[in-house]
Amino acid sequence: MMPGLQYSLFLFFCLTSCQESPASQSCLNKQQLLATVRQMQQFLKGQETRFVEGIRHMKHRLTTLQNTLTKAAPEPQAVFCPVLEVPLHGKKFGTKNMVDHEVHFICNPGFQLTGSSSRMCQPNGTWTGEATQCKGVSECTPHFCQNGGTCVNEGEQYKCICSKDWTGSNCQYQTQTVPPTWSVTNDPGFSRKPRCAKFDHMQQCSCEAGFHMSGTSENSICQDVNECKVYKLEGAPGLCMHTCINIPGSYHCSCPTGYRLFSDGKSCEDIDECVLLLHNCTTGTMCINTGGGFQCVNPECPKPNGNVSYVKTSPFQCERNPCPMDSRSCHYAPKTISFHYLPLPSNLVTPTPLFRMATASAPGRPGPDSLRFGIVGGNSRGHFVMQRSDRQTGELILTQSLQGPQATQVEVDMSEYLGRSFQAKHVSKITLFVSAYEF
Ligand SMILES: *[C@@H]1O[C@H](CO)[C@@H](O)[C@H](O)[C@H]1NC(C)=O
Ligand SMILES: *[C@@H]1O[C@H](CO)[C@@H](O)[C@H](O)[C@H]1NC(C)=O
Ligand SMILES: *[C@@H]1O[C@H](CO)[C@@H](O)[C@H](O)[C@H]1NC(C)=O
């Protein structure tokens, strides 16, 4: 601030005093005045870049705040969708019927699913998709009866006659004590006694939701269905974003440390340690939230070198001090160096734009008439390209996905030209914090 203020007061003084007494000897000559004017212009340019950077930073902060608030806001009004029945000959996963919650269906072996395999509760209290049904196969297809069973036509229905030791509508269960692979058998906590009642001298037994019956008809037991495993075997994605934990009769999802389970019960959302003050960054360093954690950063300006020296003008920006008029090397050194920290998920789909760099020309003064953008450094340059996205803007594009966890750096520059003559160079140092997960 101070040098600029001095220039302007000085300039003002000169202009006014010279106008009043044009012959005054105390005035600077034209050359000196022009030099001062140029330095003033540079100073204003610097101020403007800083101002633009400041606004960008504030916008980013606001967006972050907005996101946090939107996520944290309670559902405006609890809307419920009607509870969906478990389809006959099928299973239902997911029990919540609030907005944005999903339920999934699968059919028992030998039955075909019609309608939707996943349905989501919409804000107007209706489910997406169509009613789900598990329909018996209408023909004796080769694999309808498993384990050596024979398919027979019985009126309109098709039925399996199972070979010895097999049972179930498709002969999929062994009549002996061996239950299907996806049931939990080695833990008594995951078994229940069936509820049985006698109808017409016939014993009828059933299991609670989330359990299935196995064993012989005289000696049956309800064993937990491992939803996590069934779902995986079915090749259906998305029961849980991270880890599925089977519990007796049901399941729940869990997230890695640094994340918490989102209100849909299946997604993981990052915990912003910086906003929630859960970080241990010391004073003088800044907290950067990353996927699953945080980093403490302290960007430093380059050390003075010859006529080139820098001053920190904001926590994330360095500006070059004015150069001696005739020092070429100083003039070519970066005029501003800014620092950027981007958290990224692992294995991001590419190509994806990561960062934009634009020029800011002072009002009433012609801006640079051409710009050149480039990648000047960093430890993984091969993953990026820098290209122009419009006349004033360059864009850093990730072209090869990055596998986390890792931190990597890339340095880009923008050179401004006016009438083919070099004006100034700006450098942005970008650090990417790639999380260990794809979310
Ligand atoms: C509920 O919303 C969905 C999508 O927003 C729409 O397709 C559907 O027709 C709506 N149903 C009713 C009953 O309003
Ligand atoms: C800050 O916390 C991290 C773990 O979150 C730990 O590894 C590190 O040692 C801590 N640093 C200090 C200075 O306490
Ligand atoms: C610094 O600038 C002066 C002109 O003001 C020049 O003579 C000198 O060579 C420069 N020094 C370096 C190290 O570039």
pLDDT digits (tens, 9 = 90+) for 18-65: 444 444 445 567 888 887 777 778 777 777 777 777 777 778 888 877
The CA–CA distances, whole Å, from 183 to 88, 167, 398 equal 19, 16, 44
Token reading at 94: 């997911």
Share of the chain above pLDDT 90, in %: 37
Position 398 scores a pLDDT of 94
| Spacing, Cα 274 to ligand 2 middle (Å) | 14
Position 313 scores a pLDDT of 94
Position 203 scores a pLDDT of 64
Position 77 scores a pLDDT of 64
Mean pLDDT lowest among 185-194, 231-240, 248-257, 288-297 = 231-240
| Spacing, Cα 77 to ligand 1 middle (Å) | 17
User: What is the mean pLDDT of the segment spanning 107-117?
Assistant: 80
| Spacing, Cα 304 to ligand 3 middle (Å) | 13
The CA–CA distances, whole Å, from 423 to 41, 79, 299, 417 equal 12, 60, 26, 5
CB of 309 closer than 6 A to ligand 3?
no
218 forms bridges with which residues in the sheet?
Answer: none
Buried b (16+ CB within 10 A) or exposed e, 98-114: ebbbbbbbbbbbbbebe
Position 219 scores a pLDDT of 72
Q: In the chain, count of helices (H) and strands (E)?
A: 4, 30
Token reading at 48: 């403007």
**How many CB atoms neighbour CB 257 within 10 A?**
8
Buried b (16+ CB within 10 A) or exposed e, 206-228: ebeebbbbbbeeeebbbbbbbbb
| CA-closest residue to ligand 3 atom 13 | 306
Mean pLDDT lowest among 102-111, 167-176, 404-413 = 167-176
Half-sphere exposure of 116 (CA within 13 A, CB side): 13
CB of 128 closer than 6 A to ligand 1?
no
- Nearest-10 crossing angle of helices 2-20, 30-72: 140
> Which domains does the chain show, CATH number per domain?
90-136 (2.10.70.10), 150-233 (no CATH), 299-358+369-434 (2.60.40.60)
Asked if residue 90 lies in contact with residue 106, where contact means CB atoms within 8 angstroms, the answer is yes
**Closest of 388, 333, 330 to residue 359, by C-alpha:** 388
| CA-closest residue to ligand 3 atom 2 | 327
Token reading at 378: 């960093």
The pLDDT mean for the chain works out to: 81
Position 399 scores a pLDDT of 92
CB of 156 closer than 6 A to ligand 3?
no
Position 20 scores a pLDDT of 42
| CA-closest residue to ligand 1 atom 7 | 128
| CA-closest residue to ligand 1 atom 4 | 122
Closest ligand to Cα 271: 2
User: What is the mean pLDDT of the segment spanning 230-259?
Assistant: 85
Q: Which atom of ligand 3 is nearest to the CA of 305?
A: 13
Token reading at 371: 């710009």
Position 14 scores a pLDDT of 40
User: What is the mean pLDDT of the segment spanning 377-387?
Assistant: 84
CB of 305 closer than 6 A to ligand 3?
no
Q: With 90 as the cut, is the pLDDT of residue 308 above it? A: yes
pLDDT classification of 8: cutoffs 50, 70, 90 = very low
Strand stretches in 334-405, DSSP E: 336-344, 352-358, 370-378, 384-390, 393-398
This prediction's pTM? 0.58
Q: What is the Cα gyration radius of the chain?
A: 35
